[in-house]
Amino acid sequence: MGYDFDLVVVGSGPAGQKAAIQAAKLGRRVAVVDRGHMMGGVCINTGTIPSKTLREAVLYLTGMNQRGIYGQSYRVKADITAHDLFWRMTHVIGREVDVVRNQLGRNHVHVVNGGGRFIDPHTIGVRGEDGEERRLTASRILIAVGTRPARPSSVEFDGRTILDSDDILNLDYIPSSLLVVGAGVIGIEYASMFAALGTKVTVVEQRARLLEFCDSQVVEALQYHLRDTGVVFRFGEKVTAAEKHKGGAIAHLASGKRVPADAVLYSAGRQGATDELELGNAGLEADSRGRIAVNRAYRTKVRHIYAAGDVIGFPSLAASSMEQGRLAACDAFGVQVRSSADPMPIGIYTNPRDQLRRQDRGGTDRGGDPVRDRRIALPGAGAGADRR
């Protein structure tokens, strides 16, 4: 049977891009299906690139990068506004989207804008903004649709007071207090950013500690530094409800406590963006979190259909997703490669720099005891930590 393409990739995030480019470099006919306003996927539009750009803006505007030279009171701008933080982010996103488009174009990857769904195991229907559906057939298909923030059905999100990690990028104010639900990667990154801005941050986590998949000694050191910036941790607690009121919100905990805050950020995991794929038409299904099961070669249970990136679950990071996409494309076309994805190094971007610089110079901690220089890395589970 003649197909339109050798490979159709649904999603243009890190896994989708790199799979498409890898297949194109192998001389295959490749198409990428993605919504026009989300070129580059969550990584560029609402995830990795925006959050890391925001972090750099925080580090610069608060003067944290220079406090080792000018002292702990140094600050570039006294009154930092939401506009100060987010204008740079918008500029960077635009540039990165252009980079992705150019990369796909240079490799002769055909881009089809619209929402994709399975019509049968070899056919993807793409509905454009005009409502018309185009059908693409392929001998092999890769699902790389990524994820979206998980939203508990009992919570009334309004995008301003009760937020998810996408909403926070559209804030037009900096809250004076913030309650973060969940001490995973996203929750800890945003907690550290807002704490650096002077926001009073409280992190509520059901588990006994933050970042359970990381080395315990590294996590202990990170938690110490975050507490030193004013972050309050409530472990073994669960947020049962969040109520909005005129002055902000109140979070209700399972223990009966109530915690007021200007805003509540839910960072309680991600949900695979598979709702509209109609996986059943291809003989596939997703689990309760929208994730698709794959084997070590990133094949689903349907032999010619692959999945890679955040939609298959942990570690759900851009670098690992890129490698997964490349490996899936190589396997799809019979290229034997050596995987470098296991183990995959990871990074978590927090802001303990002012404390580290103060300690590098020597000095005392709050109790008056000498502080030794500590160099902190964040390896994955089971890795050791250099904590000198």
Share above pLDDT 70 across residues of the chain, in percent, rounded to a whole number: 86
Across the chain, what does the average pLDDT equal? Answer: 87
140/163 Cα distance (integer angstroms): 38
Q: Do 5-149+271-332 and 162-268 show the same overall fold?
A: yes
Beta strands in the chain (DSSP E): 5-10, 30-34, 110-113, 115-120, 123-127, 133-143, 147-149, 162-163, 177-181, 200-205, 232-235, 239-245, 248-253, 258-261, 263-266, 270-272, 305-307
Phi, psi of 59 (to 5 degrees): -60, -40
Domain ranges of the chain: 5-149+271-332, 162-268
pLDDT (mean) for 115-141:
95
**274-286 confidence digits (pLDDT tens):** 999 999 999 999 9
Structure tokens at 214: 């990381």
Please give the Cα distance from 126 to 141 (Å, whole number).
14
Give the mean pLDDT of 167-171.
Answer: 91
Q: What CATH superfamily classification does 162-268 receive?
A: FAD/NAD(P)-binding domain (3.50.50.60)
Q: What is the pLDDT of residue 376?
A: 40
Separation between Cα atoms, residue 239 and residue 252, nearest integer Å? 6
Identify the pLDDT of residue 358: 44
CA dihedral 311, 313, 314, 320 (to 10 degrees): -30
Closest CA to 263 of 358, 204, 371, 176: 176
Q: Which CATH architecture has domain 5-149+271-332?
A: 3-Layer(bba) Sandwich (3.50)
Give the whole-angstrom CA distance, residue 217 versus residue 128: 50
Band (364; pLDDT cuts 50, 70, 90): very low
Confidence of residue 381 (pLDDT cuts 50, 70, 90): very low
d(CA 57, CA 92): 12
pLDDT digits (tens, 9 = 90+) for 234-265: 999 999 999 998 889 999 999 999 999 999 99
Nearest of 303, 351, 352, 349 to residue 328 by alpha carbon = 303
* 313-344 confidence digits (pLDDT tens): 988 888 889 999 999 999 999 999 876 656 67
Q: What is the CA radius of gyration of the chain?
A: 22
